Structure formats: C-alpha cells, structure tokens
Amino acid sequence: MGHDRVDHSASVRGARGFAAAPHEHPLAPRVVSTLFPHLPRQGHDSFRVLLALGAALIASLALAGLFPVALIASAVLVPLLVVLYFREVDVYEGEPLGVLVLTVAWGAVTGVGMGLLAEVVRSADATLVSPTTGHAVLWRGVLIPLIGFGLVLLGPLALLRYKAFDDVLDGVTFGGACAVSFAGAELLTHSSTFLASGLEPAGLVTPWVLRLLTLGLAVPVLAAAAVGAASGAVWLRYRAPRRDRGRLGLLGNPLVALPLGALLLIGSALLQLYLSRWAALAAVVVVAGAAVVWLRQLIHLGLLEEAAEVEIGPEVTCANCGRLTRRHSFCAHCGVSLRALPKSPRHPRGGGRGRLLARFGVALAALIGVAAAVMAGVQPGAARPPCPAGVACADPPRAPVPGPPSLRPLSRIQVWRSSLGVRLSFDAGVWRVVGSTDRRLALIAADQLALTIEAQPAGGATDQQLLVDELVSLRDRYPDLELDRLHQPAATAIGSVPGGGEALVGHDLDGRPVEALIEAATRGAVTVLVTALTSQQAHTSANGAATPFDILVGADAVLETFRWPGQAALSRVRRRA
C-alpha cells in the first residue's frame, strides 16, 4: 500500500500552475515555457538567455548599420532555437532525424514558395505610391498570410495519422516548428533584393532596429503560437479522449481555432502595413502575447488530460528538479507534468548552459558569416562618374538614345493644367496617372519612377519649410529615409526658377531601396513642390547620364515642359554622381 501512495498535493499544484512549468500561471504570456514546453526549468532559463542574446545581436548589428546582416540574424534566430530545442530534449523519441527534417524543412520550403509568390504579385505602387494600395492590402495583408497559414499546417497534419504522435503537445510542437521555419524562409526570400544591395546600405538606424525586432522576435513568436494552437486544437479534437474534447470550449474546436489562427496572422500583417514602426512592434507584441496565452491553454489542458490516464509506475528521476518521484502524472516535489518533460528516459543532451551557449553561438555565427560572405560577393560595385575627375560632366543627351522608354520622344502627349496657371506635358504611353487634381499630378513610369508635382498659392510656408514637411510625409512610407550625401543635386530649379532641394535615400517596408529627390521653388503668387522617387539602385549609367539613377532623366523630360504662369522655360533636375 505504502509503495503505491501518490502525493496528490503535487497534482493540485500542477493543475493550478502551468502544467509544463508549475511555477508559472497558465494565463501568463511566457514565451519560452510555451514554445519549448518539454524543457525542464533550468532549460527555460538557458533558452531565455539565448533569446535575449539573439535580440541583443540583432539590435547591435542594426545599430552598426549592418542592416542586411541583422535581417539574416532575425530570420534564423528563432528557427535555430527550435533546432537546439529538439536536440536538447530528444522530443521525437526514436525518430529524431526524419521527423525533424520533415517538420522544419516543410516550413522552410513553403516559406520560400510564399516569398516567391509575394515577389510575383508585388506591385510597384506599393513602393512608389503607398504600401496600403488595394492590391498591396489584399495580397500582403490578407492572401499571403492566409495561404501561408494553410500551407504550413499541411506538414503537421500529415503526422496526425501516426499513433506515435498522439499527444496534444505533439501537435503544438509540429505546428510551432513549421511556423518559425516558414517565417524565417519567407523573410529571406522576400528580402532577396535588399540582401543583394550590400552589407551597409544607407538608412536611419532606429526604424531598422524596430523593424528587425518585429521580424526577428514578435512575428516568429506569433506565427508559432497561432499555428501551434490551431494544430494543437486538431490534435485535441482527434487524439484526446472523447469526454475531454470540449473542455476548452470554442478555442479548442478546430472549426474555430483554424480561422482564429489565420486571423491572427492576417491581423499582424495589416498592423505592419498601416502602423508606424514603434506602433507596429507594440501591436504585434500584444497580438503575439494573446496567441501565446491561447497556446498555453491547449498545452495545459492536454497535459492534464493525459495525466488522468497515466498509471502509477516505478520511481524515476524528475528532469525538472532532479529528485526521485513515482512515474505518474506530476512530480511529487516540483509539481511539473512528467508528460511535459523529455520523452527519452535519459537526461536531455548537452553539457549545461555553457555548452548550449557555445552551440548557439557557433551555429549563429556560421550562418551569419556564410550569408555575409555571399552578400559581399554579389553586392553591386560603386557607380562611376561619367566624366574624369576635375572635368565638368555635360548634360545627358536629349536626342533619341537607347535606354528606358523615358528617354524616347513624346508620342501620346497629354497636358496637365492647374487653376494657378502652371502646366506641363507628359507622354501617356510612358507615364501612368495615379492621381490628378486641380493642383496635384502624380505619375509613375516603368514601375521604377514616380513623379509628383504640387502647386499652391505662395505666401504660406517657405520653400525650405515645404521641403521639411515633404520629408516628414515621405518618412511615413520610408521611415529610414535620410540625406543621400553621395548623390546631391548640383543645382535645383523648376522652370528656370531657382529653388531648394535635396536627395534622400531609404527603403520601403520590404527593404527595397528608394532614392528621393525633392525640390521647391516660388515665382510670383505660386509655389511648386516636385518629388521624384525611384527604386532603381545607383549604377554607372550606360546612356551618358550624369546621374547614377539614369531613370531620373525621364523625370527631367517631363519637367522640361513645365511652365509658370506667363512663362515658357525649361526645368531640369541637375544631378552629379
């Protein structure tokens, strides 16, 4: 009789606390104990340290201006922790390699596929006009997250039929692992243009730090929690005892859990499209926290249900506290669910925190080092000036020359006139009108060049104030926009009227480079603001243009037709490399 006694108080402690970590509340949004539930308490501490070190590395690389390298670290951080987790706890019993490869590789393959799809359906308007165009919101905000969610779930669901994986915790683990590898692979694929632009691209630091922390921590945690919870709900419905399948209510019902998981990912994508970098990071963290709490309920309930069916067995050593306890539901000493601990009867592999830190550091450094070497090898060379040093560069030719359509003669001329008296002409065969009012004209050409002309009565803001206001407005779209010290215009004038202007450089939400030229001038009662944007990267012109962004010659061609009230004059964007 005495041999079979069980300390039921420990079971009570396990039921009140989070079953995988009884010192935590089930409703506490604890990331490590939720995403890595098989770890003993010491393992939780070690993985928290690794996660913090990874976040610090991402921020440090961004602060150093190595944005592409920091992006790679963001993409691989959480997937690397998942791989280390699998190794430490031997979570897949006798089949570690096959299941690990299937779980992580499926997520990576689908992530690459969705990254390529995002590139195919991408519209230039999202970069040069607005990130929240109808097309961008539909694809980036809704369809890409929805399709990705469905694809990534196919991997875990393929394992549902195997009896060896009959725990809710298995469904959670499979779903979470697929989700983080998907998120990392999609990020790298979708950022291929940015990664090929060089190791130290221009841009303000703070927006990049915020963006990379969002992509490297908040988004993978949200993806793991949302997909893991949805996958766990399927396991709960088809693997749990029939009497227990409804104990979590609607949140444990796949008919609710699957749409809810998809909505969480869609909501995160929309928040990143519409909110500033600070607000997006905060909002995604809140959504991720809610998803983590949902996931904890599934893990907790699944462990309690399994504990009710466990027969009393011989004494074993608890991997959480190291003391002897009966093989049953919960440890009689620390209260942890014995089903949450590694399935292998031996201790988790590894030689303590030091060896784990060493593995993490070596693996992360190797991944980042190889990627950085590849980027250094493919980055474009510096643009060469079209004229020798000390020799003035001539204006680019205006006769028909080979090159972009913007350099060819006008063929379908349209005229835009403002009630303030200014006017200009453009070739409708080259330029597409994306906005036109009495005082504002917005054009886009070749999916690489956008031109906006705004007229307003003089006497309000000065030319310089207009430039400052335009910079603030542009930073809503390109938060890292900063002065391009290498490619400033030699002179700025609109319709032969001198004004102020400057060149700026930054990136859109996906890391695509953007060069901006803003000019303002006043004549009489009219003030005009001109903004030219291009996604073309700086290069040595093949057309004799004095600018490393020779597509801007197309903007010159339009501005040469600009007329002030009562004046017929030329306006040209003069730039030197």
Query: Residues 353, 436: one domain?
Result: no
Would you state the pLDDT for residue 99?
76
Please return the burial class of 439, using the count of CB atoms within 10 Å of its CB with bins 0-12, 13-18 and 19+.
middle
Query: Residues 474, 559: one domain?
Result: yes
| Distances 96 to 21, 36, 91 between C-alpha atoms, Å | 24, 16, 7
> Is residue 449, in this structure, part of any structural domain at all?
yes
12 contact partners, CB below 8 Å, separation of at least 6: none
- Reported as a single tens digit per residue, the pLDDT across 88-111 is 776 555 555 577 778 889 999 999
Task: Quickly list DSSP for 257-320.
Answer: HHHHHHHHHHHHHHHHHHS-HHHHHHHHHHHHHHHHHHHHHHHHHHHHHHHTTPPP--EEE-TT
Query: Residues 370, 412: one domain?
Result: no
Q: How far apart are CA 304 and CA 534, in angstroms?
A: 58
Write the Ramachandran bin of 119: left for phi over 0, alpha for psi from -120 to 50, otherwise beta.
alpha
Query: Residue 526, SS3?
Result: strand
Query: Residues 502, 413: one domain?
Result: yes
> Is residue 35, in this structure, part of any structural domain at all?
yes
Q: Looking at the DSSP assignment, which residues form a beta bridge with residue 442? A: 435, 452
CATH number of the domain residue 549 falls in: 3.40.1000.10
pLDDT beneath 70, residues of the chain: 1-16, 90-97, 240-241, 243-244, 305-352, 377-411, 538-548, 568-577
Would you state the pLDDT for residue 206?
94
Show which of 360, 378, 396 is a domain's final residue: 378
> Is residue 357, in this structure, part of any structural domain at all?
yes
Find out whether 416 and 426 touch, Cβ atoms under 8 Å: yes
Query: Residues 442, 316: one domain?
Result: no
Would you state the pLDDT for residue 245?
72
If we measure between CA atoms, which residue out of 341, 319, 337 comes closest to residue 328? 337
Query: Residues 470, 324: one domain?
Result: no
> Is residue 512, in this structure, part of any structural domain at all?
yes
Q: How far apart are CA 248 and CA 573, in angstroms?
A: 65
Q: How far apart are CA 20 and CA 290, in angstroms?
A: 18
Show which of 378, 394, 422 is a domain's final residue: 378
Look up residue 140 and give its DSSP letter: I
Q: How far apart are CA 352 and CA 41, in angstroms?
A: 13
Give the Cβ contact number of residue 118 at 10 Å: 18
Would you state the pLDDT for residue 391?
46
> Is residue 395, in this structure, part of any structural domain at all?
no
Query: Residues 363, 445: one domain?
Result: no
Q: How far apart are CA 3 and CA 329, in angstroms?
A: 16
> Is residue 390, in this structure, part of any structural domain at all?
no
If we measure between CA atoms, which residue out of 98, 246, 242 comes closest to residue 159? 98
50 contact partners, CB below 8 Å, separation of at least 6: 81, 84, 356, 357, 360
Joined together, the tokens standing for residue 312 give 């009393």
Q: How far apart are CA 155 and CA 166, in angstroms?
A: 16
Give the Cβ contact number of residue 9 at 10 Å: 11
Q: H/E element holding 158? A: helix 144-158
Would you state the pLDDT for residue 349?
47
Would you state the pLDDT for residue 569?
42
Write the Ramachandran bin of 391: left for phi over 0, alpha for psi from -120 to 50, otherwise beta.
beta
> Is residue 391, in this structure, part of any structural domain at all?
no
Would you state the pLDDT for residue 114?
95
Q: How far apart are CA 256 and CA 249, in angstroms?
A: 10
Over the range 223-258, which residues count as b (16 or more CB within 10 Å of their CB) and which as e?
A: bbbbbbbbbbbbbbbebbeeebbeebeeebbbeebb
Question: Token pair 């990392």 is at which residue?
Answer: 184
Find out whether 35 and 176 touch, Cβ atoms under 8 Å: yes
Length of the chain: 577
Q: How far apart are CA 271 and CA 391, in angstroms?
A: 51
Radius of gyration of the chain (CA): 29
Question: Token pair 């004494």 is at which residue?
Answer: 315
> Is residue 394, in this structure, part of any structural domain at all?
no
Q: How far apart are CA 210 and CA 221, in angstroms?
A: 16
Query: Residues 531, 420: one domain?
Result: yes
If we measure between CA atoms, which residue out of 307, 360, 361 comes closest to residue 330? 307
| Distances 224 to 34, 35, 278, 347, 488 between C-alpha atoms, Å | 10, 7, 22, 26, 45
Query: Residues 330, 448: one domain?
Result: no
Would you state the pLDDT for residue 320?
61
Domain that holds residue 291: 2-378
Find out whether 301 and 295 touch, Cβ atoms under 8 Å: no
Query: Residues 95, 161: one domain?
Result: yes
Q: Report the number of distinct structural domains present in the chain.
A: 2
Joined together, the tokens standing for residue 35 give 């995403």
Amino acid letter, residue 72: I
Q: What is the mean pLDDT of the chain?
A: 81
Would you state the pLDDT for residue 376?
72
309 contact partners, CB below 8 Å, separation of at least 6: 241
Query: Residues 440, 309: one domain?
Result: no
Query: Residues 266, 312: one domain?
Result: yes
